[in-house]
């Protein structure tokens, strides 16, 4: 159920008033839990059992971890919880990749034996809710969080529909306490949230989906297009994935606020980052901090084997995004960028370049990495990168994309995120609201008959 579909509009029109007119917090929790299950089952009713199974395992793991006295027993129970969650993730997301890799290795060694991949349908959002539930049991084990004794509240934490399928990844210690508080309806807060939702929707539909017209044909066959078109497509994809994913995050945060809940910020103008480390402090913040806290720091962080820890963390982060060598290459690429930056920073603590130059270099390096992220396979990725340096094809796209690209640079980087902050602070005047509404109305009316793509991060 997409946020901009008629089905979701009807769904929200029923759930929203029911939630706010309910007299007790227990009833509200029940309404949100039922609504979240319906929301997920709209896509595939059977896969709700996976979320239920993960919820049961982690709920009881958290409950019994605190009761066990021996550390080895607590660690064993944590290991069971992590293995169950990671096994489900591996089965549905990575089994095809590993079996096909084994078949390829067998072919290289001359073996005739082949294994048939299961080709299971990937559950939407499994990467997000799996990491969310794992953070709960890890926090309980580390005594950073007290276990939850109410299963319905815990199940809602796992399945809460605004951020279920594409984040942001909300930690248990952030969201669970909010479920205990009975919210009071705030009309001004709701108006700001509605504006944020509309802006996020416009960012995705008007800019992200428009840029896809340029991006998709070029990445499908990069050898056909000339160098200038490849450069344009590379930068256009950077803006497409930003508008698509940050647009979803804005809508998720807005929906959470409409029900009285606060989600963490997921983007902070990432394309004005001054270096690779700064970029990861601004891009997909909930995921980057998750990997920092649960992968990088437990490995030793910057205390021991610093560069190795960075490379492994980014490789895992790349593989989290998809079962393809391109995502591993993307993760390794960013790991090398981070290692290079830290090495230079240790040698030269003070910035060597002016701020504007650092931003431009980081912007370029990040977008080169997006080639691996977007390309369907490694062959296409190398063909695309070689085409950036050496002319190959001669074709160019004749769509009026310059307008969308230029407008997305200014609107996406500066207007949207600045306006979002003012909306959340409810600091926007009526004349400006009217101007924005008129512009958004005209944009959406012009896009009503177009085919819109699903959110990019739904595939992860």
Q: What is the pLDDT of residue 448?
A: 46
| Structure tokens belonging to residue 25 | 């917090």
Same domain as 257, residue 196: yes
Same domain as 251, residue 145: no
C-alpha 303/C-alpha 295 separation (Å) is 14
Q: What is the pLDDT of residue 405?
A: 53
Please state whether the predicted TM-score (pTM) of the whole model is above 0.85: yes
Selected catalytic residue, list 321, 345, 451, 452: 321
Residue 392 predicted with pLDDT over 70? no
Residue 450 lies in a domain: yes
Residue 182 lies in a domain: no
Residue 457 predicted with pLDDT over 50? yes
> 90, exposed or middle or buried, with CB in 10 Å at 0-12, 13-18, 19+?
middle
Catalytic residue flag (residue 321)? yes
Task: Report the 10 Å Cβ neighbour count for 346.
Answer: 9
Cis peptide preceding 104, ω within 30 of 0: no
Residue 183 predicted with pLDDT over 60? yes
Q: What is the pLDDT of residue 346?
A: 82
Mean pLDDT of 383-388: 92
Q: What is the pLDDT of residue 390?
A: 80
Q: How confident is the model at residue 2 (pLDDT cuts 50, 70, 90)?
A: confident
Mean pLDDT of 28-47: 92
Helix/strand/coil (H, E, C) string of 168-230?
CCCCHHHHHHHHCCCCCCCHHHHHHHHHHHHHHHHHHHHHHHHHHHHHHHHHHCHHHECHHHH
Residue 305 lies in a domain: no
Same domain as 261, residue 114: no
Same domain as 140, residue 237: no
C-alpha 97/C-alpha 89 separation (Å) is 13
Task: Report the 10 Å Cβ neighbour count for 265.
Answer: 17
Residue 179 lies in a domain: no
C-alpha 55/C-alpha 157 separation (Å) is 9
C-alpha 345/C-alpha 364 separation (Å) is 19
Q: What is the pLDDT of residue 238?
A: 92
Tell me the range of 63-67, 194-198, 327-331 where mean pLDDT is highest: 327-331
Residue 21 lies in a domain: yes
Same domain as 164, residue 103: yes
pLDDT tens digits along 257-277: 999 999 988 998 899 999 999
pLDDT tens digits along 400-436: 455 455 555 555 555 556 555 555 555 555 555 555 5
C-alpha 33/C-alpha 18 separation (Å) is 13
pLDDT tens digits along 236-245: 899 889 988 8
Q: Which residue has the higher pLDDT, 346 or 56?
A: 56
Q: Which residue has the higher pLDDT, 440 or 402?
A: 440
Mean pLDDT of 363-371: 96
Residue 323 lies in a domain: no
Q: What is the pLDDT of residue 409?
A: 53
Same domain as 128, residue 251: no
Residue 133 predicted with pLDDT over 80? yes
Range of the domain at 62: 6-173
Q: Lowest mean pLDDT: which of 22-31, 108-117, 150-159, 192-201? A: 108-117
Same domain as 27, residue 159: yes
Residue 68 lies in a domain: yes
Residue 92 lies in a domain: yes
Residue 200 predicted with pLDDT over 50? yes
Same domain as 110, residue 53: yes
Q: Chain-wide mean pLDDT for the chain? A: 85
| Structure tokens belonging to residue 27 | 């009833």
Q: Lowest mean pLDDT: which of 71-80, 269-278, 320-329, 444-453? A: 444-453
CA distances (Å), origin 420, targets 195, 198, 202, 250, 425:
9, 11, 13, 8, 9
C-alpha 149/C-alpha 145 separation (Å) is 12
pLDDT tens digits along 204-222: 887 888 788 888 889 998 8
Q: Lowest mean pLDDT: which of 106-115, 126-135, 167-176, 191-200? A: 106-115
Q: What is the pLDDT of residue 345?
A: 84
End position of a domain, from candidates 173, 200, 227: 173
- The total number of structural domains in the chain stands at 2
C-alpha 109/C-alpha 140 separation (Å) is 47
Name residue, tokens 């958004």. Answer: 440
Same domain as 86, residue 24: yes
The proportion of the chain whose per-residue pLDDT surpasses 70, expressed as a percent, equals: 85
Same domain as 127, residue 39: yes
Q: What is the pLDDT of residue 449?
A: 46
End position of a domain, from candidates 139, 173, 207: 173
End position of a domain, from candidates 116, 144, 173: 173
C-alpha 431/C-alpha 446 separation (Å) is 23
Same domain as 415, residue 379: yes
Same domain as 451, residue 394: yes
Q: Lowest mean pLDDT: which of 60-69, 264-273, 439-448? A: 439-448
Assess contact for 36 and 159: CB atoms under 8 A: yes
């Amino acid at each position: 159920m997409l946020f901009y579909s008629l089905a979701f509009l009807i769904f929200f029109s029923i759930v929203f008033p029911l939630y706010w007119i309910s007299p007790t917090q227990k009833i509200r929790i029940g309404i949100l839990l039922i609504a979240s299950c319906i929301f997920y089952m709209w896509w595939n009713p059977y896969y709700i059992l996976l979320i239920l199974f993960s919820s049961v395992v982690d709920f009881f793991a958290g409950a019994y971890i605190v009761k066990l006295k021996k550390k080895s027993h607590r660690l064993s129970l944590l290991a069971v919880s992590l293995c169950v969650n990671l096994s489900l993730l591996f089965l549905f997301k990575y089994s095809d990749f590993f079996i096909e890799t084994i078949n390829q290795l067998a072919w290289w060694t001359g073996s005739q034996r082949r294994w048939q991949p299961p080709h299971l349908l990937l559950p939407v959002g499994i990467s997000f809710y799996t990491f969310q539930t794992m953070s709960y049991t890890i926090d309980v084990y580390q005594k950073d969080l007290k276990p939850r004794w109410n299963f319905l509240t815990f199940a809602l934490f796992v399945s809460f529909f605004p951020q279920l399928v594409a984040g942001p990844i909300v930690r248990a210690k952030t969201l669970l306490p909010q479920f205990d508080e009975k919210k009071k309806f705030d009309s001004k807060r709701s108006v700001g949230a509605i504006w944020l939702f509309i802006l996020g929707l416009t960012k995705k539909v008007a800019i992200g989906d428009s840029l896809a017209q340029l991006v998709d044909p070029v990445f499908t066959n990069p050898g056909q297009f000339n160098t200038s078109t490849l450069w344009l497509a590379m930068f256009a994809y950077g803006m497409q994935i930003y508008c698509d994913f940050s647009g979803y995050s804005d809508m998720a945060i807005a929906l959470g606020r409409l029900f009285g809940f606060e989600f963490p910020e997921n983007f902070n103008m990432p394309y004005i980052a001054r270096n690779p480390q700064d970029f990861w402090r601004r891009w997909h913040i909930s995921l980057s901090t998750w990997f920092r806290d649960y992968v990088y720091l437990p490995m030793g962080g910057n205390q021991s084997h610093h560069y190795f820890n960075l490379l492994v963390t980014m490789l895992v982060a790349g593989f989290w995004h998809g079962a393809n060598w391109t995502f591993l290459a993307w993760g390794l690429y960013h790991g090398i960028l981070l290692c290079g930056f830290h090495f230079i920073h240790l040698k030269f603590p003070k910035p060597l370049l002016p701020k504007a130059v650092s931003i431009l270099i980081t912007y370029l390096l990040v977008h080169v990495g997006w080639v691996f992220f977007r390309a369907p396979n490694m062959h296409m990725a190398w063909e695309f990168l070689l085409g950036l340096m050496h002319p190959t094809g001669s074709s160019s796209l004749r769509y009026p994309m310059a307008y969308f690209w230029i407008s997305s640079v200014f609107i996406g980087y500066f207007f949207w995120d600045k306006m979002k902050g003012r909306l959340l602070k409810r600091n926007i005047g009526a004349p400006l609201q009217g101007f924005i509404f008129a512009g958004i109305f005209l944009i959406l009316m012009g896009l009503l008959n177009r085919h819109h793509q699903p959110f990019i991060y739904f595939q992860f």
